């Protein structure tokens, strides 16, 4: 008797606490439900309350396996969901690749129709000597091509994004046609200059290590040396011919370095003080050929179109090359 009284006391207290909580949260629906429950409870005799209490307990125990089952179902559904998300990501990336190759193919077919124009342009380009004249010639020719693409039957129903992709593919294709003449405008002189610079860096390689005082790489980051992934990105720069692809390669190299610096020093966020020395070090280690020509190529044919973070990475890259010139 005593036990049942204290139990029902507890239950009423519990309900009252719930009620105040609901009032605090302005949950009108729950407030009225709890008021009603309390009213019923107070009407019941202590014995009946105990009966009710036991009934609730049995009911709760009976439901428990089902609740466990539901929790497990939910877990496996969440796992499936994240698996599907992964699949969607994969398909998206696959879609991107397909789109890229499809557009490149369309542009190739398109350019075949204008083969003679392209050949004439390449000839003109070859015979122009000044970089800004070359750039003007290129921009003019590309504008012409864009105009033709937008009117071509292949792209009749294309949206802006598809057109933009086609322009990029056309530019890529044209840049690879004129690559040699744009990248090494003075042929042997450029090749020789690049070679001299390349050898200069090779000599640096002999004595520059991650703790060399000329670089002042902060101590905390030295354990990450020699940043092989960033080196690989940079080493592949000459595999790309279009300026925008070369730039993306440089940006990947920089963000790769930054990501790793962030891991090495959890307590702080890496800034330029940390990036620059490491970038210089990575450039010495990777030593991609034709660095000087790369600088002039991008400044000559793409500079006006670089913006945002890409521009920042380009600045740091150019600065690093300048710095390498001063090291001896």
Residues 6+ apart with CB under 8 A from 232: 286
The rounded distance, in Å, linking the Cα atoms of 172 and 100 is 12
In the complex, minimum distance from the CB of residue 249 to another protein, in angstroms, rounded to a whole number = 17
In the complex, minimum distance from the CB of residue 275 to another protein, in angstroms, rounded to a whole number = 5
Residue 304, interface with another protein (CB under 8 A)?
Answer: no
The rounded distance, in Å, linking the Cα atoms of 36 and 42 is 10
In the complex, minimum distance from the CB of residue 213 to another protein, in angstroms, rounded to a whole number = 9
In the complex, minimum distance from the CB of residue 297 to another protein, in angstroms, rounded to a whole number = 17
In the complex, minimum distance from the CB of residue 274 to another protein, in angstroms, rounded to a whole number = 8
Residue burial 293-325, b: 16+ Cβ < 10 Å; e: rest: bbebbbbbbbeeebeeebeebbebbeebbebbe
Do residues 227 and 257 make contact, with C-beta atoms less than 8 angstroms apart?
yes
Residue 56: exposed, middle, or buried by beta-carbon count in 10 A (0-12, 13-18, 19+)? exposed
Q: Which stretch binds another protein (CB under 8 A): 50-58, 72-80, 138-146, 275-283?
A: 275-283
Residue 322, interface with another protein (CB under 8 A)?
Answer: yes
Chosen residue from 149, 174, 250, 276 binding another protein by CB under 8 A:
276
Chosen residue from 9, 27, 57, 309 binding another protein by CB under 8 A:
309
If one counts every other C-beta atom within 10 angstroms of the C-beta of residue 84, the result is 10
**Cα-Cα-Cα-Cα dihedral of 151, 156, 160, 164, to 10°?**
-60
Chosen residue from 33, 104, 255, 299 binding another protein by CB under 8 A:
255
Residue burial 218-230, b: 16+ Cβ < 10 Å; e: rest: eeebeebeebeeb
**Cα-Cα-Cα-Cα dihedral of 233, 203, 293, 249, to 10°?**
10
Binding to another protein, residues 186-245 (CB under 8 A): 214-216
Place of tokens 């202590």: 46
In the complex, minimum distance from the CB of residue 150 to another protein, in angstroms, rounded to a whole number = 25
Is residue 129 classed as helix, strand or coil in its secondary structure?
coil
In the complex, minimum distance from the CB of residue 199 to another protein, in angstroms, rounded to a whole number = 22
Residue 328, interface with another protein (CB under 8 A)?
Answer: no
Chosen residue from 258, 282, 286, 298 binding another protein by CB under 8 A:
258
Chosen residue from 138, 275, 283, 306 binding another protein by CB under 8 A:
275
Comparing CB distances to another protein, the nearer of 120 and 309 is 309
Do residues 128 and 137 make contact, with C-beta atoms less than 8 angstroms apart?
yes
Chosen residue from 1, 29, 267, 328 binding another protein by CB under 8 A:
267
Residue 136, interface with another protein (CB under 8 A)?
Answer: no
Q: Which stretch binds another protein (CB under 8 A): 14-22, 72-80, 133-141, 305-313?
A: 305-313
Residue 142, interface with another protein (CB under 8 A)?
Answer: no
The rounded distance, in Å, linking the Cα atoms of 124 and 118 is 10
Q: Name the DSSP class of 27.
A: -
Comparing CB distances to another protein, the nearer of 103 and 135 is 135
In the complex, minimum distance from the CB of residue 267 to another protein, in angstroms, rounded to a whole number = 7
Q: Given the rule CB under 8 A, which residues bind another protein?
A: 214-216, 255, 258-259, 261-262, 267-273, 275-277, 308-309, 312-313, 315-316, 318-319, 322-323, 326
């Amino acid at each position: 008797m005593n036990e049942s009284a204290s139990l029902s006391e507890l239950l009423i207290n519990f309900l009252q606490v719930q009620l105040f909580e609901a009032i605090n949260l302005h949950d009108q629906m729950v407030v009225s439900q709890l008021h009603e429950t309390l009213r019923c409870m107070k009407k019941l005799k202590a014995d009946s309350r105990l009966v009710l209490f036991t009934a609730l307990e049995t009911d709760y125990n009976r439901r428990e396996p089902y609740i466990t089952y539901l929790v497990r179902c939910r877990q496996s559904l969440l796992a499936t969901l994240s698996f599907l998300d992964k699949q969607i990501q994969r398909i998206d990336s696959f879609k991107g690749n397909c789109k890229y190759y499809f557009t490149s193919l369309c542009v190739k077919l398109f350019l075949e129709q204008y083969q003679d124009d392209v050949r004439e342009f390449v000839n003109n380009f070859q015979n122009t000597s000044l970089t800004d004249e070359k750039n003007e010639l290129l921009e003019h020719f590309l504008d012409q091509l864009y105009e033709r693409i937008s009117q071509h039957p292949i792209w009749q129903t294309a949206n802006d994004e598809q057109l933009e992709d086609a322009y990029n593919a056309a530019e890529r294709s044209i840049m690879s046609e004129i690559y040699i003449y744009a990248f090494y405008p003075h042929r042997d002189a450029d090749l020789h200059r690049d070679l001299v610079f390349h050898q200069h860096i090779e000599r640096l390689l002999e004595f520059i290590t991650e703790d060399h005082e000329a670089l002042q790489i902060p101590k905390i980051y030295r354990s990450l040396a020699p940043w092989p992934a960033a080196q690989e990105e940079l080493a592949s720069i000459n595999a790309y011919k279009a300026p925008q692809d070369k730039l993306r390669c440089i940006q990947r190299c920089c963000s790769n370095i930054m990501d790793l610096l962030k891991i090495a020093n959890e307590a702080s966020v890496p800034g330029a003080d940390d990036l620059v020395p490491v970038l210089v070090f990575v450039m010495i280690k990777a030593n991609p050929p034709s660095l000087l020509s790369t600088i002039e190529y991008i400044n000559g044919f793409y500079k006006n179109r670089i913006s945002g973070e890409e521009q920042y990475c380009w600045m740091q890259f150019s600065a690093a090359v300048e710095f390498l010139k001063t090291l001896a």
